[in-house]
Amino acid sequence: MKNVLANDGISNSGKIALEKNGFNVSTTTVAQDQLINYINKEKISVILVRSATTVRKDLIDKCPDLKIIGRGGVGMDNIDVEYARIKGIDVINTPAASSASVAELVFAHLYSGVRFLHESNRTMPLEGDNNFKGLKKSYANGIELRGKTIGIIGFGRIGRETAKIALGVGMNVLVYDKSKEDIDLTLSFSGNKTLNFEIKISKLNDVLKNSDFISLHVPAQKSFVIDKKEFDLMKDGAGLINAARGGVLNEVELVSALDSGKLSFAGLDTFENEPKPAVQLLMHPKISLTPHIGAATNEAQDRIGLELAEQISDILN
């Protein structure tokens, strides 16, 4: 059977590409506890997920018709990848398709933080008509990103796209990655113009101590990458962005650092307790918030859908 369940959705272009190759595509969202029954009843051979649906050992064991597990995006921590492969199931993802979109969201949070957009967008509807001058004064001490230093922790595809934007903005770039050596980056511009940059890998402590802003680009971890020790090493007034994975930073220590003034702001797209982030984060005036939308652009979703369709067709056709 060539039945595909895109349980967390798929772009229309990806759906059309699959259908042209003879696949039946369902975009029904099936509850996690009903997924095994649905897959077996509908004889699903391919399940596509993003971050909302998990594919663990029990599902793999109880769904013998499953041939492919596809992840629309980069991280596959919601899939028991090695176990699935041992069972003869292909596990695929789209690591490059959403890199630019996530990197752009990082800078959306950065600009929001340095110009107080996350705060002013909350207070203007409440006080803009009676305290305009007061708000203007409150948000008058913004800073420019140009000339500042961004520290990028994790230098995979998304980290590199983040570095490219930073270089284009005129920032200095420091990078830490425990598994990579110095890397050459090429920035592409309109008119087929390019510029090449050599990015040297620094020690983690040096990145933390010397960066005005820190951006995390690491996979899910068993322990915090950023904990109290790392917060203490950061510059006073630094900003921190996490558009990687929830659980890579200690959220309790983050709130403490913001409350003490150690950090000036944070931008969070991912949270330790998704889909119910801690209320202390949601209500904090110094945090710019998005609901895990790093890859959620039309362009990225088209690339993801088409890339998944191509991989599935290559495997099963």
Active-site positions?
Answer: 245, 274, 292
DSSP lists the bridge partners of residue 132 as: none
Q: Residue 227 region, left (φ>0) first, then alpha (ψ -120 to 50), else beta?
A: beta
CA–CA separation, 25 and 3 (whole Å): 6
Residue at 250: amino acid letter: N
Contact 67, 90 (CB under 8 A): yes
Contact 215, 162 (CB under 8 A): yes
Neighbour count for residue 115 (Cβ, 10 Å): 16
Residue the block writes with tokens 């950065």: 110
CA–CA separation, 94 and 92 (whole Å): 7
